[in-house]
Amino acid sequence: MKAWLFPTNAGWVAAACSPAGLTNLTLPLDSKSECARLLLDIVAKNGCVNQPPGRESELHHLGQALDEYYAGRRDTLNFAVDWSIFTPFQRDILQVVKEIPYGTLLTYGQVAAMAGHPRAARAAGGALRTNRVPLVIPCHRVVQSDGNPGGFDGQPWIKTGLLALEGLKIGPDGRYSLRRWQYCV
């Protein structure tokens, strides 16, 4: 695994990848030192080896792509993910989530059903908590069945901010309207 720390127009980001693809991506942080500490934690947990062949250019483009996403000029972050870091159930759920289009919402129940686990809405939420590659696997596009955004690791303002960036506004009751979202993968 190789790890990087780089600035974007939204803050400092840490990323790591294996020869198969991304294994970690942080959401932007204001402080370079805070991001560096997080990167050290990632490396300590996963180890760090020489640059994976063919990934240097891709990771350079990741910073540029994140800049464009946060500036509203990019709606896809199509980067390879190392799926081996997830359990089979997590992979099922996260692969569905990776395909949710920009500006679209699905519920945990819809994601579970689309992944072939129709009775596993709560477990789908658990799988989303294991997502180590946010934005590339856009777990912020999944909400509760009543339109509540959900916890987002105790930072729901980040989720609502990302959804606002994608043109989705939360209602005065603190929920998203799900009536118009009829999407199938």
Residue range 32-54, pLDDT digits in tens: 999 888 888 877 776 654 445 55
Q: What is the pTM of this model?
A: 0.89
Q: Is 139 a catalytic residue?
A: yes
Cross-strand pairs, 106: 142
65 and 127 share one domain: no
The tally of domains found in the chain comes to 2
**What are the tens digits of pLDDT across the range 94-143?**
999 999 999 999 999 999 999 999 999 999 999 999 999 999 999 999 99
Task: Identify the domain containing residue 47 by its residue range.
Answer: 2-70
57 and 111 share one domain: no
Among 17, 35, 139, 184, which one carries the catalytic annotation?
Answer: 139
94 and 66 share one domain: no
Could you tell me the CA-to-CA distances from 72 to 46, 59, 103, 163, 166 in Å, in that order?
33, 20, 11, 12, 8
62 and 115 share one domain: no
151 and 93 share one domain: yes
CATH of the domain at 111: 1.10.10.10
- Domain ends where: 36, 70, 104? 70
CB 8 within 8 A of CB 73: no
